[in-house]
Structure 1
Amino acid sequence: MTTRWRLAPQSILFAVFLGALAALPPISIDMALPALVDIARSLHASSSQAGLTLSLFMAGFAVGPIVYGPLSDARGRKPTLLLGLVLFTMGGIVSALAPGIGVLLGARLVQGIGAGAGMTVALAVVRDLFEGNAMQHRLAAITVVANVAPIVAPSIGVGLLAAIEWRGIYGVMAVCGLLAALVTWAGLTESAPQRSAGVAVSGLRDGYRRVLTHRAVIGHILINGFGFGWMFAYVAGSPLVLLHILHVRPIVYAAMFAMTGAGIVAGATVNGFIGARGFESRGILATAICITLAASFGLIMLSVLHRTSLLTVMPLLVASTFCFGLAAPSATHGALDPIPQLAGVAGGLLTSVQMLCGAASSSVVALLFPALGIFAMSGVMAACALLAGMAWIWLGRRGGIETPSAVADVNPASSV
């Protein structure tokens, strides 16, 4: 009798699979960026309507995890993930075949809702199967894979646009969703610690009440959200600052953007390295927040002193994105660890808050830039870092996640 193939939790392939799930949203956003002009022209729409294909995707992605989290706790990780991937795939197919801008916008909303399952379930699965250092190491690996995606996605989008036009880009997204669904169906073993026959409203309410009133969970969710906020303030402000104020060439801007993206990957890699050597999460978070505060206020001082240049600005921006990569795995670990049986709810809330903070910070930068210039970006970055620091203080010593020496790195469920 042949043994059914499955993804082994300890394997590199398993870590890559979880990272790929988390990378679906940034790939789906950034890969479509080069196609916006062609979409507007092809569907006889305005540029603002074409831009809504990104906004509606992000709106769906922000809302979806609120449902997927408790659904995965009650009905299981695997069926919840399959539901999301089916929605993502169908949204991609309809987007590729859309006859008009209205259909495309609706399909992108559905695709965003589907994409929300990837990150939510990936985080919950990690909490189900790993503990201690092993859990933080897996979270760092997911952060690395998920943040490599937005670095390479625009270049992939440009190549696909030249080869198969904008509809082909959405077709490739659908293929990615289908492949992820097939791997999930064939190789993912259910990891939820307990499941029920249905999802009662009272159960949802109780689950969110427990998460929302747990100081350690909420404190770490806020730190992660504000960290994503300072990173997205940079993402929104960087083309305005580098292209319109510092007047760098587009190819130089692309290289600088890749450099800051590499900073995120480096930060997550360092987190996994020092976390495996017993550094406590509270100290890691404090270090990341303090460095970001220093870098943000450094950017403000450079503007006040009229010393802004590519050489003075870029090290501070790389430091800020490095610190998000450094903080994110520890913040995620702290949000998921305290209530294992509600890892789906906590992961869904963390994902939604992260996206909302990113959307809010980038919108504020765009709104204030015409009046404040570079201060809009550096000011929002500083504000997000200050809010993260306040959340860290509110968290208190008891909110710190210590590495328990007596706990095994891998949960017994991982060997089932």
Structure 2
Amino acid sequence: MTRPDLGRVEFTALLAMSMALAALGLDLMLPAFTAMRADLGLPADSTALAGVVTAYLLGLAAGQLLYGPLADRFGRRPTLFVGFGIYALGALLSTLSPGLSLLLAGRFVWGLGAAGPRVVTLAVVRDRFEGEQMARAMSFIMAVFIIVPVIAPTLGAAVIQVASWRVLFVLCLLAAVVMTVWARRLPETLPPQHRLELSLGRIVATARLVVTNRQTAGYTIALTSLYGVFTSYLASSEIIFGSTFGRPDAFPIIFGGVAATMGLAMLGNTRLVSRLGTRRTSHLVLLAYVGVAAVLVLLAVLTEGRPPLALFLPVLAAILVGHALLIPNFNTIAMAPMAAHAGTAASVIGAVQLAVGAGLGALLDRRFDGTILPLSWGFLGYGVLALVVVLVVERGVLFRPMMDPVSRRRPGPAREA
């Protein structure tokens, strides 16, 4: 039931900003790592704060398994409000933590809360759209969502000039409160007749459906591989630009500029999907991604991991544009057969993506040696893995149209040309 006072623009913006809370919990604090190291008694070149990112992502992954079944049983709106509440609690615990150990625990709880808006957003999009329309809607949401990484580092850098880094966590808490008030306008997109039983048997059956569906399982694995190296970039970007390139002052501008480029790519994705289809677009971009990653590895090897920043940035931006196009499209392809179980399927897909992705990212984080070599090899290695998985799923034939999605037993499912 759609409320007449909630138009398409506000509907999309509300979903995007709900999902953006997860990014806010990461990106706002990145410029504060130097101040956090000093306050927590860590060495200036310590990578221990990467655990603050990893703990958050692990909480985000664990929470996926909770919210999906709740959203399928009780509806999207109440589940969203639960997520906002836990998000605010985690931000509060992190703000008050006196040391790194308790900070990591608070960040895990914070991630648990951030999982709610993420799962509900994916489920609502799947409720309302199918096929290419779903891919276009997800691209619009992700394009608005990317505003947060553009603005957050600059805002964070400005705040820590005049206040403690803990104030950044308070701002995230206030953002959750604001979103809770705004989300009261969100319509419930899951009709009562489509709500599913909340039982372990049903959840296990849906999880089995996800992992045994060739398209869903395969694209989830490919998505997870790409997400792994992306989380490593998020965790190591501050120290790479600050230590490797000696430009800590320019980090918010560089990070925000790259994020803005990703946002523009997501807007462009809607046109690519309209003209080529979701699957064809994804395959073309994935091949290009692997090629550009190979160029980055060559550049890194030839310069012993310390290329000129002017050469590194364009190649990095091109790779991250690939992420901007692949992540929403792979999500769409993975979710397409799961209409009847959208909430739980989003939970399983998200949990695998985030938990395994965080682990893959942590492997790269630990290999940081003061150069861009580990990250460069990560982009190439994880990109090749994603390509191999897609080739296996597609039985060696790329660029085919996407299969008709399985509807919730309703007539006239959407098709992708």
Q: TM-score range by the shorter chain?
A: 0.7 to 0.9
**What's 2:408 paired with?**
none
| CA positional deviation for 1:363 | 2.2
Structure 2 unaligned spans of 5+: 406-411
| CA positional deviation for 1:41 | 6.1
| CA positional deviation for 1:103 | 5.2
**What's 1:331 paired with?**
330
Q: Compared with structure 1, are the counterparts of its residues 402 and 212 closer, same or farther at alpha carbon in structure 2 (3 Å cutoff)?
A: closer
Deviation string for 1:334-385 (max 9, x for gaps)? Answer: 11111201111222223223323542343233322329x4331211111111
**Aligned residue among 372, 383, 386 for 1:385:** 383
Q: Amino acid of the residue matched to residue 229 of structure 1?
A: G
Q: Amino acid of the residue matched to residue 189 of structure 2?
A: S
**1:10-409 matched pairs, under 5 angstroms:** 11-36=8-33, 38=35, 46=42, 52-98=51-97, 104-184=103-183, 186-193=184-191, 194=193, 196=195, 199-236=198-235, 238-239=237-238, 242-245=241-244, 247-277=245-275, 279-306=276-303, 308-370=307-369, 373-396=371-394, 401=402, 407=413
| CA positional deviation for 1:122 | 0.1
Larger mean Cα displacement after TM superposition, 234-243 or 324-333: 234-243
Q: Compared with structure 1, are the counterparts of its residues 343 and 198 closer, same or farther at alpha carbon in structure 2 (3 Å cutoff)?
A: closer
Are the aligned partners of 2:241 and 2:248 in contact in 1 as well (CA < 8 Å)? no
What SS class does the counterpart of residue 59 from structure 1 fall into?
helix
Distance, in Å, in 2 between the alignment partners of 1:358 and 1:119 is: 16
| CA positional deviation for 1:213 | 0.6
**What's 1:414 paired with?**
none
Q: Compared with structure 1, are the counterparts of its residues 198 and 39 closer, same or farther at alpha carbon in structure 2 (3 Å cutoff)?
A: farther
| TM-score (structure 1 length as normaliser) | 0.85
| CA positional deviation for 1:314 | 2.3
Are the aligned partners of 2:149 and 2:256 in contact in 1 as well (CA < 8 Å)? no
Q: Amino acid of the residue matched to residue 29 of structure 2?
A: A
Q: Compared with structure 1, are the counterparts of its residues 274 and 192 closer, same or farther at alpha carbon in structure 2 (3 Å cutoff)?
A: same
Larger mean Cα displacement after TM superposition, 86-95 or 116-125: 86-95
Deviation string for 1:178-237 (max 9, x for gaps)? Answer: 1222222x2122212545585111111111011111111112222222222343344455
Distance, in Å, in 1 between the alignment partners of 2:99 and 2:68 is: 33
Count, aligned residues: 399
Q: Compared with structure 1, are the counterparts of its residues 111 and 197 closer, same or farther at alpha carbon in structure 2 (3 Å cutoff)?
A: same
Q: Compared with structure 1, are the counterparts of its residues 236 and 270 closer, same or farther at alpha carbon in structure 2 (3 Å cutoff)?
A: same
Q: Compared with structure 1, are the counterparts of its residues 38 and 225 closer, same or farther at alpha carbon in structure 2 (3 Å cutoff)?
A: same
Q: Compared with structure 1, are the counterparts of its residues 29 and 284 closer, same or farther at alpha carbon in structure 2 (3 Å cutoff)?
A: same
What SS class does the counterpart of residue 402 from structure 2 fall into?
coil
Q: Compared with structure 1, are the counterparts of its residues 265 and 166 closer, same or farther at alpha carbon in structure 2 (3 Å cutoff)?
A: same
| CA positional deviation for 1:400 | 5.1
Are the aligned partners of 1:291 and 1:319 in contact in 2 as well (CA < 8 Å)? no
Structure 1 unaligned spans of 5+: 410-416
Distance, in Å, in 1 between the alignment partners of 2:247 and 2:194 is: 55
| CA positional deviation for 1:408 | 5.9
Percent pairwise identity: 25
Distance, in Å, in 1 between the alignment partners of 2:95 and 2:238 is: 29
What SS class does the counterpart of residue 199 from structure 1 fall into?
coil
**What's 1:413 paired with?**
none
